[in-house]
Amino acid sequence: MSPHDGFLRVEQVHKWFGDLHVLRGITVDVRPGEVIVLIGPSGSGKSTLLRTMNMLEEPTLGKVYFEGEDLTDVRVDLNMVRTRMGMVFQHFNLFPHKTALANVTLALETVLGLKGPDANERALQQLGDVGLQDKAGSYPSQLSGGQQQRVAIARALAMQPKLMLFDEVTSALDPELIKEVLDVMAKLASEGMTMVVVTHEMGFAREVGSRMLFMDEGLVIEEGDPREMFAEPQHPRTQEFFSQIL
Amino acid sequence: MTGTAATVDPLATDQTKPHRTLSDWYQDQTTLSLTAGVLGATSLSLLVIGTPILITTFGWVPSEKLAEAITSPAQGLLLWISLGLGLTGAALGWGTFRRMPNKAARETAVGGAVLGAQAVVLDVLFLWVRTGQVDVLVRQYFEFGLLADQGPRFVRAALNTLILSLAGETIGIVLGLVLAVFVLSRRRLVRAPARLYINFFRGTPLIWQLSFGWLGIVLALGLGVGPYLAAMLILGLNAGAYSAEIFRAGIESIDRGQFEAARSLGMSYGKALRHVILPQGVRRVIPPLTNEFVILIKDTSLVFILGLTFTQKELLSTARDLYAATFNATPWLAAAAGYLVITLPMIRLVRMLEERLRSGMTGIVGAQ
Ligand SMILES: Nc1ncnc2c1ncn2[C@@H]1O[C@H](COP(=O)(O)OP(=O)(O)OP(=O)(O)O)[C@@H](O)[C@H]1O
Ligand SMILES: [Mg+2]
């Protein structure tokens, strides 16, 4: 298969931070409709790998292809590419000086060029989908962590992306707020969204994930069907990791 | 085991916040606390209210009258009484405040001690001054008659100070913003010249910049720029370097995640800066920027070296001219008063802005 035919392909990617070799040659293919779950111990490079997918981190070596384009090619307009990939962060990163609605409309207006009323309509609809239509006028500081994270998801989804990247989006939440966020993500998966999810929520990984990658020390050392991997992890590091967290 | 319901004291929930009246306060006082308080307050008021009244009976102008008042036996008596009362109040308050039965009495005793101590310090200073050549000092610095018809001139001077500093600050803010963005660039080629500029203007004295800019560049090259405009420009170039550092710190203080969120939505560097980073940074930057403005107001005093024309002169040049004409230093005092009239409200404003920023912090960093 030529790389250009794929949906998202990370090919032989290496990343150094100074002398620290954080990604050590990773190749991952993501097919449309897949929900890839990325797990691994802290510091194994999960976030870095996820962030190379939308080029928030530039790979030191290797290629990233998305819908036939080589994102490491300097001639590619990354801003336009990123409108087709949403990202949700551990700490929400909502814009604190803007209301929930304005958080969602900002990029619709400034990047996609939607007019005010159109942007508002789309944003309200999206906030409604995550159950927050009545919070449109609230500032982030007035919302619970779970609500903030749902606004962040709505903000990314409003761009109508083809791929969503989630980086430990429930790790900063109080336990009783985790479910409302996971529910939104599960619904999104059931609607066919392609997702790459870094998470420590093993229940979610098992129920929603279509493929699971286990990373350790900058390498993907095992991948497979989540249920099978949970039942019979092959690699000793995977076994050790599961025995520690399960 | 099942839990038991916690018992709630119905009285405890009924409590309303106590409201204290003046008579509550009075009832709490003891003889000692009141004595200390009254002694301290009297000693200080005797000095700061009594002295001007006494001087007024002699007359503030001409300076001979003023000197006479200050060296008069009546003023001496006033100072010694104030000193005695102050010492007693301070000693009494300090010695007894720990033994006061309640908070109100303790505060009165402490207050008396503090006011008394302030009076003692000022009285001693004043008495010491009186041992010197009061008439010479007063003739040189407090000949208020000289200022009688200079009002309009000082008002215009104050306006010029304000115009020069406002123009400098405006240029400085625009320039500073551009420099800050350059200094934060990933590219060394963009960063280095901006850094060089900032370090040069922060690293050389403003008075050197003014004299070199005026004599060396404008005059020597014959650029045909007047001194007033040149002063504005050089002050602005200088303020730009300082504002740049303030903006840089403001932008850097915004969480990296804000930038990443904006970029992940497809916003360009410029759009992220304009819609996400700057609106948050500006709020943090206003207090230090206002502070920097206060410094600039005082720094306008250095433009005297540019040889401004009569109507262009700001506070310090005006004072200098009057000094040269009269060989009397009283105009310097007027200049100081002029600076205070402009800077004190600004200093207050900085404090208010800082307060507001602190109390409104949740709205700014609330995303965590
Ligand atoms: N910008 C950076 N500069 C320097 N080192 C970095 C940077 N980002 C990440 N690292 C380092 O790279 C390594 C991998 O980090 P990464 O965040 O990808 O790990 P992770 O698997 O996501 O871990 P966690 O589960 O703790 O989030 C870590 O050692 C980290 O300290
Ligand atoms: Mg991580």
DSSP string, B235-253: HHHHHHHHHHHHHHHHHHT
Distance CA(A199)–CA(A205), nearest Å, equals 8
Which distant-in-sequence residues (6+ apart) come within 8 Å of B298 by Cβ?
A: B339, B343
Helix (H, G, I), strand (E, B) or coil at A132: coil
Query: CA-nearest residue of chain A to B277?
Result: A95
Residue to mutate (ligand 1; options A13, A19, A20, A23; most atoms within 8 A of CB): A20
CATH class of B151-362: mainly alpha
B363/A106 CB distance under 8 A: no
B266/A111 CB distance under 8 A: yes
- Which residue in this structure is represented by tokens 């999960």? A46
Side chain identity at B137, as an amino acid letter?
L
Helix (H, G, I), strand (E, B) or coil at A154: helix
Instruction: List the domain boundaries for chain B.
Output: 30-142, 151-362
Distance CA(B328)–CA(B130), nearest Å, equals 21
Of the candidates B276, B18, B288, B245, which has an alpha carbon nearest to the alpha carbon of residue B268?
Answer: B276
Asked if A141 and B363 count as a contact pair (C-beta separation under 8 A), the reply is yes
Distance CA(B104)–CA(B214), nearest Å, equals 62
The question of ipTM being above 0.85 is answered as yes
Q: Are strands A211-216 and A35-39 parallel, antiparallel or unpaired?
A: parallel
Query: CA-nearest residue of chain B to A157?
Result: B265
Ligand 1 pocket, residue A233 CB under 6 Å: no
Asked if B316 and B308 count as a contact pair (C-beta separation under 8 A), the reply is no
**Spans of chain B below 50 pLDDT:** 1, 361-368
Distance CA(A107)–CA(A111), nearest Å, equals 5
Q: What is the pLDDT of residues B247-293, one digit of tens each?
A: 999 999 999 999 999 999 999 999 999 999 998 888 788 889 998 99
Q: Which of A87, A91, A142 has the CB atom closest to B264's CB atom?
A: A87
A110/B368 CB distance under 8 A: no
How close B277 comes to chain A (CA, Å)? 9
Helix (H, G, I), strand (E, B) or coil at A13: strand
8-state DSSP, B46: I
Q: Which ligand is nearest to the CA of A51?
A: 1
What residues of A are in contact with residue B268 (Cβ under 8 Å)? 79
Of the candidates A192, A113, A178, A111, which has an alpha carbon nearest to the alpha carbon of residue A149?
Answer: A178
Give me the residues paired with residue A194 across strands.
Answer: A163
Which distant-in-sequence residues (6+ apart) come within 8 Å of B310 by Cβ?
A: none
Torsion angles phi and psi, residue A197, rounded to 5? -125, 115
> Residue A89 C-alpha to ligand 2 middle, in angstroms?
9
Distance CA(A222)–CA(A212), nearest Å, equals 8
Which long-range contacts does B345-354 make (Cβ < 8 Å, 24+ apart)? B346/B290, B346/B293, B346/B294, B346/B297, B347/B294, B349/B290, B350/B287, B350/B290, B350/B291, B350/B294, B353/B286, B353/B287, B353/B290, B354/B287
Q: How far is CA B298 from the centre of its chain?
A: 11
Other Cβ atoms within 10 Å of B117 Cβ, number: 20
Which distant-in-sequence residues (6+ apart) come within 8 Å of B100 by Cβ?
A: B30, B32, B33, B106, B108, B109
Mean pLDDT, chain A cut into blocks of 10 residues (246 residues total): 73 95 95 95 95 95 94 94 96 94 96 94 94 93 93 96 95 90 94 95 92 95 93 92 84
Q: Which one of B259, B260, B264 would you mutate to disrupt binding with A, by most A Cβ within 10 Å of its Cβ?
A: B264
Q: Nearest residue CA, atom 22 of ligand 1?
A: A47
Show the CA angle centred on residue B238, arms to residues B234 and B243, nearest 5°. 140
First and final CA of chain A: distance in angstroms?
Answer: 37
pTM for this prediction: 0.82
What residues of A are in contact with residue B275 (Cβ under 8 Å)? 106, 110
Ligand 1 pocket, residue A48 CB under 6 Å: yes
Q: Nearest residue CA, atom 8 of ligand 1?
A: A48
A96/B276 CB distance under 8 A: no
Which pLDDT score, from 0 to 100, does residue B20 have?
84
8-state DSSP, B269: H
A94/B367 CB distance under 8 A: yes
Distance CA(B60)–CA(B54), nearest Å, equals 10
Q: Which ligand is nearest to the CA of A89?
A: 2
What residues of A are in contact with residue B258 (Cβ under 8 Å)? 93, 95
Which pLDDT score, from 0 to 100, does residue B11 have?
63
| Largest pairwise CA distance in chain B | 96
> Residue A83 C-alpha to ligand 2 middle, in angstroms?
22
How close A140 comes to chain B (CA, Å)? 6
A56/B264 CB distance under 8 A: yes
What residues of A are in contact with residue B357 (Cβ under 8 Å)? none
Distance CA(B113)–CA(B239), nearest Å, equals 45
Which pair of structure tokens corresponds to residue B75? Answer: 């003023």
Residues of A with CB under 8 A from a CB of B: 54, 56, 79-83, 85-87, 89, 91-97, 106-107, 110-112, 139-142, 148, 152, 155-156, 159
Distance CA(A132)–CA(A129), nearest Å, equals 7
How close A240 comes to chain B (CA, Å)? 33
Give me the residues paired with residue A119 across strands.
Answer: none
